[in-house]
Amino acid sequence: MSLILSKRSLCEDHADYEALLPNITIVKSLVDCDDAGNLISGPSTQILQKLFNAADSDNSVWFTAGDTGDEAPTSCFKDTQVYYSEKSCNDACGFQSVTWTPHTDKCIDDAIADAFGALGGVEATTAPAVGNYTGPSLAIAGYDTFKEIVELFAAYLGNPALVGRPLNEVLGVLDAMCQLVEEKIRIKRSLRKAGLTIDPCDF
């Protein structure tokens, strides 16, 4: 049963986050700033454009174009649904799920606020937006699932106007994204391990 449950979760979110992590690390090592401490154009910003520019979804790694020219591109980021069996003493059976949400700390919360504001978000008034991306919430606190947070970060990092933003702000968002992706990798590894383990509860 644990194999069925874990495979169900993993098949719904098959993106390779382990390949994304070294890309973020490379970008962090290449970013540079001008004398005022603001991000300058270079290989780091070019890589971020290739990874996250939703406006250029034909050439973006983490966004795919819609089926028609009118559709907004969709990201490859997904929330992880953790499934459990509904089999009960009444012989009812089936599956239900809960959504895994990442742990957030002050660094992630600060990065959410920075990205929200940089993309024109105004608390309780205006959702952050750039290109084809519009944030799902008018409130900073509304960004709490993996998909909501990481798509906000991707929109910020893939924004062509990122050049000129304070380097400390950019590094803060990169660090927060790195932390989120690491958490995502851990939950997916746990699910893979559960699928490969024969537990006494399975009998």
Give 49-66 pLDDT, tens digit per residue.
999 987 776 668 888 776
Q: What confidence score (pLDDT) does residue 127 get?
A: 97
Q: Which domain holds residue 136?
A: 15-77+101-202
CB contact at 8 A, 48 and 61: no
User: How does residue 201 score in pLDDT terms, banded at 50, 70 and 90?
Assistant: very low
Query: For residue 143, is it within any domain?
Result: yes
Q: Is the pLDDT of residue 67 over 50?
A: yes
Query: For residue 96, is it within any domain?
Result: no
Look up residue 70 and give its DSSP letter: T
> Which residues have a Cβ under 8 Å from the Cβ of 16 and sit 6 or more positions away?
none
Query: For residue 64, is it within any domain?
Result: yes
Instruction: Among 2-16, 34-48, 108-122, name the one with the lowest average pLDDT.
Output: 2-16
Q: What confidence score (pLDDT) does residue 95 get?
A: 82
Query: For residue 157, is it within any domain?
Result: yes
Q: Is the pLDDT of residue 99 over 90?
A: yes
- Structurally, how many domains does the chain consist of? 1
Query: For residue 132, is it within any domain?
Result: yes
- What are the backbone dihedrals phi and psi of residue 72, each rounded to the nearest 5 degrees, phi first? -70, 145
| Cα–Cα nearest to 157, from 125, 117, 115, 190 | 115
Distance, CA of 134 to CA of 131 (rounded, Å): 8
Distance, CA of 143 to CA of 102 (rounded, Å): 11
Query: For residue 134, is it within any domain?
Result: yes
Query: For residue 195, is it within any domain?
Result: yes
Query: For residue 49, is it within any domain?
Result: yes
